[in-house]
A and B are shown apart, each in its own frame.
Chain A
Amino acid sequence: MTVKVEITVNGESTSADVEPRLLLAHYLRDQLGLKGTNVGCDTTSCGACTVLLDGESVKSCTVLAVQADQQSVTTMEGLSSDPENLHPVPAAFRAEHGLQCGFCTPGMVMAAVSLLEENPKPTEKQVREGLEGNLCRCTGYHNIVRAVLAASGQDPDKAEGSEPDVVAPGFSTGSGA
């Protein structure tokens, strides 16, 4: 069986008859030819396929295309008008050398866009925890974190030193009676 979907992708209407099991990532890649969105794992772990669905970051390998019907998707291809005019987040990734092989980059950039939407001036710790759903094997995250801080208008050199605390020793949260 196939189902008709209509999804606005990077501002343009798209439509196709698809198998219900078609993953949104493959809809973008194979139906629309938007190859920027990469698939790096099978277990919703790596985040390389992260796109915005109605403005929020999601892993497009774990969303059925049919579930995105009548919704709006933004991929990295939709952020910048052209390579010489980069959106502030990818521009910061370039300035801070926040990418090497580039495979995690589209997902990382989209996760960062979503993170900054929810928290426009994050601390280093908040950036690190906010990107916990995206794996990078090349950069050690050092320059990715700097790029996100820079994209938020903060000086990464200062923000970096601002929080000497140990990052993420597990979650511990609470409030006294």
Chain B
Amino acid sequence: MSIMGTRVRRVEDPVFLTRGATYTDDLTDERLSGALHLTFVRSPMAHARITSVDATAAREAPGVVAVITAEEMDLEPTKHFPAVPDAMARPWLAKDVVRFVGEPVAAVLTEQAYQGEDAAELVEVDYDPLPVVTTLKQAATDETLLFPEAGTNFAVPSFGNDDFSDDLFEGCEVVVTREIVNQRVAAAPLETRGAAAAWGEDGRVTLFLSTQNAQQSKGEVAGWLGVDPAQVHVITPDVGGGFGAKIGADPEFALVAWAARHVKRPVRWNESRSENMTGMLQGRAQLQTITIGGNRDGKVLAYRLDVLADAGAYPRIGTALPTFTRMMAGGVYDIPKVETRARVLVTNTTSTGAYRGAGRPEATAAIERAFDLFAAEIGMDVAEVRKRNVPPPDAFPFTNKGGAQYDTGEYAKAIDTVLEAGGYQALRAEQKARRERGDVMQLGIGLSCFVEITAGGMAAEDATVEVHADGTVTVLTGTSPHGQGHATAWAMLASEKLGIPVEKITVKHGDTDLIPKGVGTMGSRSLQSGGVAVYNAAGELADLAKQRAAELLEASVDDLEVAEGEVRVAGTGTGITLAQLAEKDQLRVETHWDQQLPTFPFGAHLAVVELDTESGKAVVEKIITIDDAGTILNPLLAEGQRHGGIAQGIAQALLEEVVYDADGNPLTATFADYGIPSAAELPSFTLLTMETPTHLNPIGAKGIGEAGTIGATPAVQSAVCDAVAHLGIRHIDMPATPLRVWEAINAAQNGTATTNGSDA
């Protein structure tokens, strides 16, 4: 019986549930014995000239071994996104100017962790404030420049500045346009960032990092330090969540390595949450102008998405993500004309990067809002309008206007399934009754349909599978889990081919000496890249075993089968175990797999909120979601990914936002202020599944990690808007906090609301 598709419980858990996982800060590795603790002195100013840095008192504080300032650093400022002007390079420690609250200015090295915080307070930095740019519109005026030498705040001046046509909406009976915000959010993995470095006498550094991809981090850190990559050995211990924000290396990692070399002692750094909330990459942060045009019969004819995206102070991976937003702008719809533009700006805020979905949720949120606004304008049901514009199943592969080729899709079926499961007609009837009664508690119903790109860009991974003489198996993978359960899932894939139980299979990852090649875990790519590589390697190993066994058993390869860890002559009792074969000769296969193309999972979400019209508070009562991510390997793990994604989607729709005041001070830099939901703010989720296998890989799987976030965010936002639609409200920006909803209701009642809709 195949293990594929079964609910195998995680092999990680027995240890995680007894002594706990081992995160970077938990390491007791002997290479780190006697390690110093690094504490950063970070800028409290969003934009200021540094007039002096005085570390004299700090250097005399108890336990201080060194205080490093820009004076001591010999590393050149570095660009963290290649296409930006040279002037936008980031110094490792700020020297002349600080550009966001949280920018590292000095690093204190102490014998004990507690001493670091005391000493860091003694580093005296004088700042001369500069004008601060916190909003995209401010930045776009170029009146105040973060990098005067660049001459502009546009991070890539040449990029995305395409002209729009004048006649895009010609012939449309109805055109609706609106500016909407896809707010900045914090990834906020429960484990903050951490790094530890120890240089060996051989001149190599062992770097323990909390990251989603060891191999990329190795290359980056080596480049920053100006050393041969062969000199860098990266190890990722257990990682306590990443959500995109731990892709690759952070500048702090190089500083830790540099400091360890500088003082000739191991150094470790584990940031505080307050530090994390200004230092770690943040997500989304787009200001979007959406325009949708079509006819009163519900057919959408044209769509335009104009994006201003926030790179933060020093452009990093966030600079690239609007490319995904543009590519996926048209969503699940077959729209004849689509135009997009995305311009990326620097502001005096924390740098942006990937956050669960990374560019695609922004596309989905925009098009789904646009469809709701269009539906409202022509007075048609939101589900009906959507279904009238999706391509039929026989239109696949379907190439969207952004150039992406969707492999499979049954969008109308996904919509119908959630509508039926949610009792859509009954919900509408209940909503109508509440409206007629004028109830304080109103019902809102939100629908979203989404398609996303998974394994976009890089779909190749390597894998090694080896059977040992004791019957155990080692799997080496270049993907690197931070909660996804690779140790279980990859063991299932090897087990499927070898018939060896998962308990005997050890999955190793995140050690660049052991596994030099790997891309990592991000963009919902792991299973279809790294997982398939393991599946193929195990299959190749089974073939190799059959070839070797054929001689020993004097049988034809064609008559052999691999089952229960044994090569058997079919239909006879004769066989030899894989372990026995391994005893004779190393039984190991290394393979490379490249899917070459991305896959396009899709689904639909139906959210129901109950909204207190007196207080403005909306609570998600239920959310019914369907996902088609191809063939499911382990439903337990796949559901877990969906649950987490849905929660983060609801959180963005209702609660979370990174907020800066006009001086660039972060107002949400602790978990007390930043709105991560607890169990008490969320309902249980209803999950429905479709499984349309992709033909792009042998197990038929697409990615599942980000879908929940992509679908839930617009569904919940839409539900909130729907709950107050009868008051004349068409749109409320995220997060739809009680305050914001109440203000919208107030404005509607005072007649100050605008619908931004106009008949063409």
* Chains A, B in direct contact (C-beta < 8 Å): yes
Contact surface of A with B, Cβ cutoff 8 Å = 19, 21-22, 26, 29-30, 33, 35-38, 40-46, 48, 76-77, 79-80, 82-84, 86, 90-91, 93-95, 97, 99-106, 109, 124, 127-129, 131-146, 160, 164, 166-170
How many Å lie between the Cα of A160 and that of B485 in the bound state?
Answer: 25
How many Å lie between the Cα of A135 and that of B682 in the bound state?
Answer: 12
Given A100-B644, A102-B240, A138-B241, decide whether A93 and B684 contact each other with a Cβ distance below 8 A. Answer: no
Given A101-B191, A103-B189, decide whether A38 and B14 contact each other with a Cβ distance below 8 A. Answer: no
B18 and A43: CB pair below 8 A? no
List of B residues within 8 angstroms of A129 by Cβ: 679-680
B250 located at the interface, meaning its Cβ lies under 8 Å from any Cβ of chain A in the complex: no
Given A99-B17, A169-B617, decide whether A40 and B114 contact each other with a Cβ distance below 8 A. Answer: no
Given A19-B114, A33-B28, A41-B273, decide whether A102 and B12 contact each other with a Cβ distance below 8 A. Answer: yes
A45 and B672: CB pair below 8 A? yes
Given A35-B26, A103-B240, decide whether A40 and B640 contact each other with a Cβ distance below 8 A. Answer: no
List of B residues within 8 angstroms of A134 by Cβ: 678-679
A42 and B114: CB pair below 8 A? no
Q: How far is the CB of B167 from chain A (nearest CB, A)?
A: 45
Given A100-B485, A101-B189, A103-B241, decide whether A80 and B17 contact each other with a Cβ distance below 8 A. Answer: yes
B223 located at the interface, meaning its Cβ lies under 8 Å from any Cβ of chain A in the complex: no
B16 and A99: CB pair below 8 A? yes
Q: How far is the CB of A55 from chain B (nearest CB, A)?
A: 20
Given A38-B190, A101-B190, A103-B241, decide whether A77 and B18 contact each other with a Cβ distance below 8 A. Answer: yes
How many Å lie between the Cα of A124 and that of B679 in the bound state?
Answer: 10
List of B residues within 8 angstroms of A91 by Cβ: 17
**Beta-carbon nearest neighbor of A89 in chain B:** B17
B684 and A124: CB pair below 8 A? yes
Show 17 residue pairs from A and B whose CB-CB distance is below 8 angstroms, ordered by the A residue: A40-B191, A40-B273, A46-B190, A83-B17, A83-B18, A86-B17, A97-B639, A100-B241, A101-B190, A101-B240, A109-B17, A137-B188, A139-B643, A140-B645, A140-B646, A169-B617, A170-B617
How many Å lie between the Cα of A79 and that of B483 in the bound state?
Answer: 23
Given A100-B644, A141-B647, decide whether A46 and B671 contact each other with a Cβ distance below 8 A. Answer: yes
Given A101-B190, A104-B190, A131-B678, decide whether A90 and B273 contact each other with a Cβ distance below 8 A. Answer: no
Given A99-B13, A102-B238, A143-B640, decide whether A35 and B20 contact each other with a Cβ distance below 8 A. Answer: yes
List of B residues within 8 angstroms of A95 by Cβ: 9
Q: Which of A41, A83, A109, A137 contacts B14 (CB 8 A)?
A: A83
Known: A105-B21, A141-B679. 14 other contacts (CB 8 A): A35-B22, A79-B18, A90-B18, A94-B13, A97-B9, A99-B13, A100-B485, A104-B190, A129-B679, A131-B680, A134-B678, A139-B644, A169-B612, A169-B619
**Beta-carbon nearest neighbor of A134 in chain B:** B678
How many Å lie between the Cα of A35 and that of B21 in the bound state?
Answer: 8
Q: How far is the CB of B309 from chain A (nearest CB, A)?
A: 24
How many Å lie between the Cα of A170 and that of B618 in the bound state?
Answer: 11
B273 and A43: CB pair below 8 A? yes
List of A residues within 8 angstroms of B483 by Cβ: 100-102, 138
Q: How far is the CB of B82 from chain A (nearest CB, A)?
A: 31
Q: Max chain B CB contacts within 10 Å: which of A37, A48, A84, A136? A: A136
List of A residues within 8 angstroms of B243 by Cβ: 137
A139 and B640: CB pair below 8 A? yes
Contact surface of B with A, Cβ cutoff 8 Å = 9-10, 12-23, 25-26, 28, 113-114, 188-192, 238-241, 243, 272-274, 482-485, 610, 612, 615, 617, 619, 621-622, 636-637, 639-640, 643-648, 670-672, 676, 678-685, 708
* Main secondary structure on A side of the interface with B: loop
B17 and A93: CB pair below 8 A? yes
B23 and A100: CB pair below 8 A? no
Q: Max chain A CB contacts within 10 Å: which of B9, B243, B622, B640? A: B640
Q: Which of B9, B192, B640 contacts A138 (CB 8 A)?
A: B640
**Beta-carbon nearest neighbor of B708 in chain A:** A140
How many Å lie between the Cα of A84 and that of B646 in the bound state?
Answer: 32
Given A100-B644, A143-B643, decide whether A40 and B679 contact each other with a Cβ distance below 8 A. Answer: no
Q: Which of B21, B25, B619 contacts A167 (CB 8 A)?
A: B619
A167 and B681: CB pair below 8 A? yes
List of A residues within 8 angstroms of B617 by Cβ: 169-170
How many Å lie between the Cα of A133 and that of B482 in the bound state?
Answer: 23
B19 and A132: CB pair below 8 A? no
B619 and A103: CB pair below 8 A? no
Q: How far is the CB of B445 from chain A (nearest CB, A)?
A: 15
Q: How far is the CB of B105 from chain A (nearest CB, A)?
A: 20
**Beta-carbon nearest neighbor of A133 in chain B:** B678
List of B residues within 8 angstroms of A99 by Cβ: 10, 13, 16-17
Q: Max chain A CB contacts within 10 Å: which of B190, B612, B637? A: B190
Q: Which of B13, B485, B671, B684 contacts A142 (CB 8 A)?
A: B684
List of B residues within 8 angstroms of A40 by Cβ: 190-192, 273, 671
Given A100-B484, A137-B676, decide whether A142 and B273 contact each other with a Cβ distance below 8 A. Answer: no
A42 and B20: CB pair below 8 A? no
A145 and B640: CB pair below 8 A? no
Q: How far is the CB of B510 from chain A (nearest CB, A)?
A: 14
How many Å lie between the Cα of A111 and that of B482 in the bound state?
Answer: 23
Q: How far is the CB of B249 from chain A (nearest CB, A)?
A: 19
A76 and B17: CB pair below 8 A? yes
Q: Max chain A CB contacts within 10 Å: which of B13, B25, B670? A: B13
A86 and B643: CB pair below 8 A? no
How many Å lie between the Cα of A103 and that of B194 in the bound state?
Answer: 14
B682 and A105: CB pair below 8 A? no
Q: How far is the CB of A101 from chain B (nearest CB, A)?
A: 3
List of A residues within 8 angstroms of B113 by Cβ: 26, 30
Q: Max chain A CB contacts within 10 Å: which of B191, B484, B610, B676? A: B191
How many Å lie between the Cα of A141 and that of B648 in the bound state?
Answer: 11
Closest 10 CB pairs of A and B: A140-B647, A36-B20, A101-B483, A103-B240, A83-B14, A100-B483, A45-B671, A140-B643, A90-B17, A35-B26
Given A83-B17, A141-B682, decide whether A43 and B636 contact each other with a Cβ distance below 8 A. Answer: no
How many Å lie between the Cα of A84 and that of B484 in the bound state?
Answer: 22
How many Å lie between the Cα of A103 and that of B274 in the bound state?
Answer: 17
List of B residues within 8 angstroms of A33 by Cβ: 28
Q: Max chain B CB contacts within 10 Å: which of A90, A132, A141, A144? A: A141
B644 and A84: CB pair below 8 A? no
**Beta-carbon nearest neighbor of A91 in chain B:** B17
Given A43-B670, A132-B678, A141-B682, decide whether A103 and B18 contact each other with a Cβ distance below 8 A. Answer: no
List of B residues within 8 angstroms of A44 by Cβ: 672
How many Å lie between the Cα of A82 and that of B17 in the bound state?
Answer: 10
List of A residues within 8 angstroms of B12 by Cβ: 102
How many Å lie between the Cα of A86 and that of B16 in the bound state?
Answer: 11
How many Å lie between the Cα of A154 and that of B648 in the bound state?
Answer: 28
How many Å lie between the Cα of A37 and that of B274 in the bound state?
Answer: 19
Given A36-B19, A102-B483, decide whether A167 and B640 contact each other with a Cβ distance below 8 A. Answer: no
How many Å lie between the Cα of A144 and that of B190 in the bound state?
Answer: 16
List of B residues within 8 angstroms of A169 by Cβ: 610, 612, 617, 619
